[in-house]
Structure formats: C-alpha cells, structure tokens
A and B are shown apart, each in its own frame.
Chain A
C-alpha cells in the first residue's frame, strides 16, 4: 500500500520523500488544481526539480490537474497535462472528463488517476472511467463507509486510493458548490474552497467573529480555539439551536483502519494538505510511515500508538480527529 503525501512547494516535497513517502502529489502554479492558493505550488522550473528529486530516490510523482476547464481556456488544462508529462510525471490526477479524454488520447502510456473531485462513489461510475479512459486508479470521495469501500475494492476493475489523513471534506467532493454560493469561487472553478481573500476577522463585544464574504461563520468566546472559517465548519442556527450544523472543525484520521485497508487491497493511502507547511508534511509522513511499517512487520500485532494519535491530533483542525464517513455513526 502506497503512502502518498502532499507537497505545496519544493521543501515540502523533499521532506515528504525524506520521511518515507512512496509518492508525492503536487499541482501547478495556476487554477488547474484544487489548491490554487497564493504562494503555493510549482512553476515549470520547480516542477522539473521536483521530478528529479523524487525519481532520484526511486519514488513517484503524481500531478493533480483537478479543476474543471473553462470555455475558451481549455488549452490551459491541456498545457498542464503536456507540462506534467514533459517533466516525466508518473501519474496524472484528473477530474474533468474533457481533460481526461485529452490525456488518454495524447498520452495513453501515462497513468491516469480519477481525482476525488470527479466524485466517483460506485461501481458503475468507476466502470465509466475505466471503459472510456483506461484509468489505472480512482480516488474515492470521503463519503463512503468502510463497508462500502470494501464492496467496491472487491469488485472494482481498477485500483483504489483512499484518503487517510487531513482536513475533512464532508461533502461529495467536486459536487459541492457551497463556496461559490457564498463567494463566487469554488474548488471546481477556481481551485479553492472558502478562499482566504473573503475571510475577515473582527473583535466585537460578543466575541471574535469570523466571516466569509461578510456572512458570519462563527463567533468565539474568550479562550475558545478559533479556526479558519471553512464555511461548512462554522456554527449556525437551526430553529434557535446554535451548533455545528454541518460539521465541527476536525480532521480525518484512519490509522486504526490500516489493517482493513491492507486486507481489501487498497492501492494507496492519501494524506491531504498541499496547503500545509513542510513541518506538517514531515510529521504526518513520518507517523504514517511508522504505522504502515509496523503493520507490515507484524500484521497480527498492529496497534495504533498513542503518540501517533497525539502527533496527528496536534496537526488537525480543532486538534481533534474523526473516522468521518468510514464510520457509519459519523453519518
């Protein structure tokens, strides 16, 4: 089972490889990927350097081209595919059917992975991508229970990748327009959810307020831990009851599912967080490498260590973690 780590810049990529990643995924410095944030991602020169470093260490490089091409600008997405292939990427992670079609026709020999943003949650949808674009892997959205993942793994004609750790997207990815409803910009169209330029913090008599494009997302009392106002993780009111109506600030952590994921033949476990620092990548990669190695050395004795959980909780939203949709009770 591959450990696939995120890198938003070259130092993070080096750190991921040095700490045990089997593969790293990156994006380009434009709106062709779903982490299109200021100061993040790879220019052409850096792409080449990234590929060199990864390949020198015998590891793999995946390039995410996982937003949806705009009319009149499809060449930008095609160029991203061309550039990724030119630097020798090992796999393209693609969400847009049109871009996938382009890659499959032009570079049939380069592995194509269906991005989580393509929202592929069942066997017939997997077959669609398999038959039309000969994809070699599908990344599953974070909406399936572990039983549903097992069912799919048993029957899928292509390898599956699942999210293992990181910020928890609670909607079927690629089909969530909450961000553009509030700001005009969504992961699909501009490559960002709840974009930072719409965030505003304000001290008020009632407490510290976070807003997204002027909509009140949360309000914190003194001493309360204030998090980034991702719009699905704020406190809202439903019939006079104020609570985290959609989800609390929390991160996904599946260390305890490692034995099951191995047994069902999952190809890769993915760490979320291209927007995070090299220090985050170092700790997560290191911890996950240790856990995966421990399992492989002695599957029957595998147990999650408290210190792993503590390390990961510290790197999590709201310093708490969850099994998310994998666990039916969460649903």
Chain B
C-alpha cells in the first residue's frame, strides 16, 4: 500500500508552499500531487512554477503528479489546463472531464480525481478506455461501495488496469460554486476579491449558530467542517484492495498523520476520534460528518 499527499487546497503564500514541499520531499510519502485545483485566480505559483517544482520533486524518486483545476469555466482556464496536461513527462490528475478529454487527445495516461463522478463499473470502463490508470473514489462513497465496485472490476477482468486511491485524511472537498464564499465573507465582489483567501491558510470556519463546525469556506470551494479521518480503517482499506491512501495537506499536521497512517500497517492501534473536530461517516455509509 502506498501513501500520497494531495495537492494543498488552501491558498498559501509562495514561501509556505516552498516550505511545505521541502517537508514533503523529506517525508515518507510515496506520491506527491502538485498544483492548484480550486481557483485559477490564485497565482502565487503559476503553471510554470508548478512544473519546475514538480520536476525538482521528481528527482527524489517519489512519483509526482500534476493535479489540475476542478471547475473550469473560461477558455483561458482551458489553455492553462492544456499546457499542464502537455508537460511531456509527469502524470496528470484530471479533476474535470475536460482534462480527461485533453489527456485522451494526447494519448497519455491519467489519474481520475475524486471530483469526477465515477460511481460504477460501467463508468470506470469508459474512463479506462480513455487512458485512466488510477481512480480516486468520489468522497461521498463508502467502504462497502468501493469493495463491491472493486470486486466487480475483478470479475470483469479490468481490476489490474488501475490503482484505487482513497481520500483518507483532511478537510473534505464537498462543493464548487461560481461564487467565492471567502470574498462574500469579507463583503468583496469576486471580481475584486483582492485574493483575500490568502489570509486564511486554513480556510474560514462556517459554524451553525450553536457553534457547531459545519463547513470550511475556501474560496469557491466548500469543505467539511470536520477533518475526515480514516486512520482506523487503513487495514480494512488494504484488505479490500485499496492501493493508495491520500492525506490532504491542510496543515503541518499532515506529515505526522502520514506517518501514523503508515504505522497502522505494521503496528495497528485504535485511535479515538473527536466528534467535534473529526469524522469518518462517509466510509461507514452514514452522514459524512458523523463518527462511527
């Protein structure tokens, strides 16, 4: 089983991104995803910078994957996407069907990210034909759903054609909108957002009026209020054939988590989850925000 670090979802200052990837380089992660997936206006790192960074990381022997935007609306965004896809050497994570289309035209393999709606075998088979080599399960699906789907893939003789990856720790990306909720929270129009989300390196908490953490606002993205934590499910994941466990780097804590997750394979331990800050409901087919 391998462990990956997802692309950071928040907007971080350049020096923080550099610092993060320096740590990532030295971490135990097998796979590192690199790139901006949420908002095309975030330009502390431009596409060239991401590619330079990715190439440098790749020299360490880790697998580096270029992760791409999720909600693409303009021709300019498609142009950037095409250039990232056509980088010539590095694997690409498609987070929208536009990237699937571009990678297929380039005749290059790709990862299907969690934001692409692949819920069943028939869809998996279409995506395999397009060139998919790795599939990240949509975040709202359960362990049972995954298990059944992987069994079906085995029966159809296609299981060996792709790796299965599961988003396992961090704030869950739940929705994407045309509206920027961070700009709205500061009474700024999106067209004049002044890149204010850079001031919230962990997003903005959106609580109920009873103080319950409901969501985290991250620009046009809405995330779970609690951090997803499948640390107690690592061995179950391995048993059903999950190939890669993804840690989403929300904070410095991610590296600690990465090690703790990996240790579960050799020295399993039951971690109590804090129901006010953590959740694992999706995996257990109950409300995502719940703990089982």
Q: Which of A116-124, A252-260, A261-269, A299-307 contacts B (4 or more CB under 8 A)?
A: A116-124
Tell me, in angstroms, the Cα distance from A175 to B11 when the chains sit together: 21
Q: Is the CB of B174 within 8 A of A178?
A: yes
Q: Is the CB of B177 within 8 A of A235?
A: no
Q: Which residues, 125 to 177 on A, are CB-close (under 8 Å) to B? A: 125, 127-129, 131-132, 142-145, 148, 151, 170-172, 174-177
Does any Cβ of B come within 8 Å of A72's Cβ?
yes
Does any Cβ of B come within 8 Å of A188's Cβ?
yes
Tell me, in angstroms, the Cα distance from A213 to B208 when the chains sit together: 13
Tell me, in angstroms, the Cα distance from A330 to B208 when the chains sit together: 23
Q: Which of A9-17, A32-40, A45-53, A98-106 contacts B (4 or more CB under 8 A)?
A: A98-106
Does any Cβ of B come within 8 Å of A222's Cβ?
no
Checking B75, B98, B152, B282 against A71 with a beta-carbon cut-off of 8 angstroms, the contacting residue is B152
Closest to A69 in B: B120
- State how many angstroms separate the Cβ of B198 from the closest Cβ of chain A: 17
Closest to A180 in B: B140
Does any Cβ of A come within 8 Å of B89's Cβ?
no
Closest to A324 in B: B178
- State how many angstroms separate the Cβ of A239 from the closest Cβ of chain B: 7
Asked whether A172 and B206 contact (CB < 8 A) given A181-B289, A182-B289, the answer is no
Please name all residues of chain A whose beta carbon is closer than 8 Å to the beta carbon of B178 when the two chains form the complex: 142-145, 170, 172, 325, 330-331
Checking A95, A119, A236 against B207 with a beta-carbon cut-off of 8 angstroms, the contacting residue is A236
Does any Cβ of A come within 8 Å of B275's Cβ?
no
- State how many angstroms separate the Cβ of B292 from the closest Cβ of chain A: 11
Does any Cβ of B come within 8 Å of A109's Cβ?
no
Q: Is the CB of B175 within 8 A of A124?
A: no
Q: Is the CB of A177 within 8 A of B208?
A: no
Tell me, in angstroms, the Cα distance from A122 to B281 when the chains sit together: 33
Please name all residues of chain A whose beta carbon is closer than 8 Å to the beta carbon of B172 when the two chains form the complex: 177, 181
Please name all residues of chain A whose beta carbon is closer than 8 Å to the beta carbon of B140 when the two chains form the complex: 177, 180-181, 186, 188-189
Asked whether A97 and B122 contact (CB < 8 A) given A181-B174, A184-B287, the answer is yes
- State how many angstroms separate the Cβ of A228 from the closest Cβ of chain B: 17
Checking A95, A151, A177, A331 against B180 with a beta-carbon cut-off of 8 angstroms, the contacting residue is A331
Please name all residues of chain A whose beta carbon is closer than 8 Å to the beta carbon of B101 when the two chains form the complex: 124-125, 127-128, 131
Does any Cβ of B come within 8 Å of A242's Cβ?
yes
Q: Is the CB of B115 within 8 A of A175?
A: yes
- Tell me which of A132, A219, A241 has the highest count of chain B C-beta atoms within 10 A of its own C-beta: A132
Q: Is the CB of B287 within 8 A of A236?
A: no
Please name all residues of chain B whose beta carbon is closer than 8 Å to the beta carbon of A145 when the two chains form the complex: 73, 178
Tell me, in angstroms, the Cα distance from A187 to B127 when the chains sit together: 22
Tell me, in angstroms, the Cα distance from A182 to B174 when the chains sit together: 11
Does any Cβ of B come within 8 Å of A221's Cβ?
no
Asked whether A98 and B189 contact (CB < 8 A) given A132-B126, A245-B184, the answer is no
Tell me, in angstroms, the Cα distance from A219 to B210 when the chains sit together: 11
Q: Is the CB of B204 within 8 A of A175?
A: no
- State how many angstroms separate the Cβ of A106 from the closest Cβ of chain B: 12
- The size class of the interface chain B forms with chain A is 35 or more
Q: Which of B27-35, B214-222, B243-251 contacts A (4 or more CB under 8 A)?
A: B214-222
Does any Cβ of B come within 8 Å of A183's Cβ?
yes
Closest to A239 in B: B204
Closest to B204 in A: A238
Checking A98, A128, A213, A325 against B123 with a beta-carbon cut-off of 8 angstroms, the contacting residue is A98
Asked whether A245 and B181 contact (CB < 8 A) given A215-B214, A328-B190, the answer is yes
Checking B78, B204, B210, B281 against A184 with a beta-carbon cut-off of 8 angstroms, the contacting residue is B281
Q: Is the CB of A98 within 8 A of B121?
A: yes
- The DSSP consensus for interface residues of chain A is mixed
Q: Is the CB of B71 within 8 A of A102?
A: no
Please name all residues of chain B whose beta carbon is closer than 8 Å to the beta carbon of A181 when the two chains form the complex: 140, 172, 174, 224, 281-282, 287-289
Does any Cβ of A come within 8 Å of B185's Cβ?
yes
Does any Cβ of A come within 8 Å of B62's Cβ?
no
Tell me, in angstroms, the Cα distance from A286 to B161 when the chains sit together: 54
Checking A128, A182, A237 against B98 with a beta-carbon cut-off of 8 angstroms, the contacting residue is A128
Does any Cβ of A come within 8 Å of B197's Cβ?
no
Checking B74, B120, B214, B287 against A74 with a beta-carbon cut-off of 8 angstroms, the contacting residue is B120
Does any Cβ of B come within 8 Å of A294's Cβ?
no
Q: Is the CB of A178 within 8 A of B125?
A: no
Does any Cβ of A come within 8 Å of B176's Cβ?
yes
Does any Cβ of B come within 8 Å of A70's Cβ?
yes
Checking B118, B145, B180, B210 against A97 with a beta-carbon cut-off of 8 angstroms, the contacting residue is B118
Closest to A183 in B: B287
Does any Cβ of A come within 8 Å of B117's Cβ?
yes
Asked whether A96 and B123 contact (CB < 8 A) given A71-B148, A177-B139, A216-B212, the answer is yes
- Between-chain CB contacts (< 8 Å), 12 pairs: A69-B122, A71-B152, A72-B148, A72-B152, A98-B122, A98-B126, A132-B126, A144-B178, A148-B73, A171-B175, A177-B140, A246-B181
Q: Identify the A interface with B (CB < 8 A).
A: 68-72, 74, 95-99, 101-102, 118-125, 127-129, 131-132, 142-145, 148, 151, 170-172, 174-178, 180-184, 186, 188-189, 213, 215-217, 219, 235-239, 241-242, 245-247, 325, 328-331
Nearest 4 CB-CB pairings of A with B: A98-B122, A124-B98, A181-B288, A325-B178
